[in-house]
Amino acid sequence: MHSFKVLSAKFEEQFSTRQFPDQPHSLYDPAQYILGIGGKRIRPVLCLLGNELFDEIMPDAYHAANAIELFHNFTLIHDDIMDKAPLRRGMPTVHTKYSDSAAILAGDVMLIHCYEHINKVNIRIRTKILSVFNKAAREVCEGQQMDMDLEGTPPEQVNYTDYVNMIALKTSVLLAASLQMGGVIGGGSEGNQEHLYEFGKNVGIAFQIQDDYLDAFGDPEKFGKQQGGDILINKKTFLLLKALELCTPAQKQHLHHLMETNPANKVTEVLQVFHDCRVDEWAEKEKEKFSQLAFEHLEAIAVLSNRKQPLKELADYLLTRQH
């Protein structure tokens, strides 16, 4: 049994060798660039942890983990183009450093490369691995499109269930699928794989609620981001959507006014409304609900409870962070 930290180092050791051919470097350098600017490698390590829940880590887990991390970085490159994001992990995004065209193509070739790794997985389980991987891959695209569709929708017209579904697709299904692929490789039963998937999915949703909460109410010193960054850009978050549902007509009008006029004290004022309609308390409960669901699924996996320790620790770490 290994901790997240140990597995992360093991993963990085083999992943940090150059993934792509040299030429044409105008194609492969942008792809290699995004891999080089870091990231916590949570998803591939989840795959290793999912494997180790049931059995010793097999080479297949690294093949799948490599595919997963490449896929995740492919989505970052393409999402950054769509979002016109200038920075990623404090560094220029691929399309900013190179060009939109280079970024589109580098993403494409990374996605293609994922399947090179999957093609190395033992033939006995490859159909299943590709199928779990592809379902998640498709759903991540669906989530990204749904997110873009929501951009044009006024926040009070966004259905909360649709929003949770979008968040799950965009951010949680890949975490879930990473664990499940590990479970398949480790030889976990279908039922145990399901629980593992649901554990990952619910941790992902709880994490996103926490992320929204910290952006609004977190200590900016610890969180490392500007407080209220989401509020400033009128981002649709769990907090905003629920606040619009919970607040009085007068509060709603005030919120709309703040979002339209962007006054200097916008963050303080919006936070005041959030406090007044108790959306902060709601968010803590909502996060707790999804966390609990996650841990119930982890509990239900039929292996000795000490085997679950690294996953439990990781989830605890992710869901109690203040940073």
**Interface with a copy of itself (CB under 8 A):** 23-24, 26-27, 78, 81-82, 100-102, 104-105, 107-109, 111-113, 115-116, 119, 123, 126-127, 130-131, 134, 137-138, 141-142, 144-146, 148-149
Helix axes 123-151, 100-118, angle to 10 degrees: 150
The helices-and-strands tally (H runs, E runs) of the chain is 17, 2
In the complex, minimum distance from the CB of residue 104 to a copy of itself, in angstroms, rounded to a whole number: 6
Could you please report the per-residue DSSP string of 113-159? HHHHHHTTS-HHHHHHHHHHHHHHHHHHHHHHHHHHHHHTS-GGGS-
Query: Is 107 or 310 the residue whose CB approaches a copy of itself more closely?
Result: 107
Burial of residue 281 (number of CB atoms within 10 Å: 0-12, 13-18, 19+): exposed
Handedness of CA 119, 179, 42, 168 (dihedral sign): positive
Q: How far from chain centre, in Å, is Cα 23? A: 31
Query: Is 126 or 321 the residue whose CB approaches a copy of itself more closely?
Result: 126
Residue 240 CA: distances (Å) to CA of 75, 217, 261, 269? 26, 13, 16, 13
Pick from 123, 118, 113, 84: nearest CA to 233: 84
Which token pair is 294? 């996650």
In the complex, minimum distance from the CB of residue 179 to a copy of itself, in angstroms, rounded to a whole number: 20
In the complex, minimum distance from the CB of residue 141 to a copy of itself, in angstroms, rounded to a whole number: 4
In the complex, minimum distance from the CB of residue 58 to a copy of itself, in angstroms, rounded to a whole number: 18
Which token pair is 11? 């993963």
In the complex, minimum distance from the CB of residue 102 to a copy of itself, in angstroms, rounded to a whole number: 7
Q: Quick one: which H or E segment has residue 282?
A: helix 279-300
Query: Is 128 or 312 the residue whose CB approaches a copy of itself more closely?
Result: 128
Query: Is 126 or 275 the residue whose CB approaches a copy of itself more closely?
Result: 126
What would you report as the CA-atom Rg of the chain, rounded to the nearest whole angstrom?
20
Query: Is 141 or 293 the residue whose CB approaches a copy of itself more closely?
Result: 141
Query: Is 53 or 166 the residue whose CB approaches a copy of itself more closely?
Result: 166
Distance separating alpha carbons of residues 274 and 283, to the nearest angstrom: 10
Query: Is 98 or 213 the residue whose CB approaches a copy of itself more closely?
Result: 98
In the complex, minimum distance from the CB of residue 127 to a copy of itself, in angstroms, rounded to a whole number: 6
In the complex, minimum distance from the CB of residue 157 to a copy of itself, in angstroms, rounded to a whole number: 16
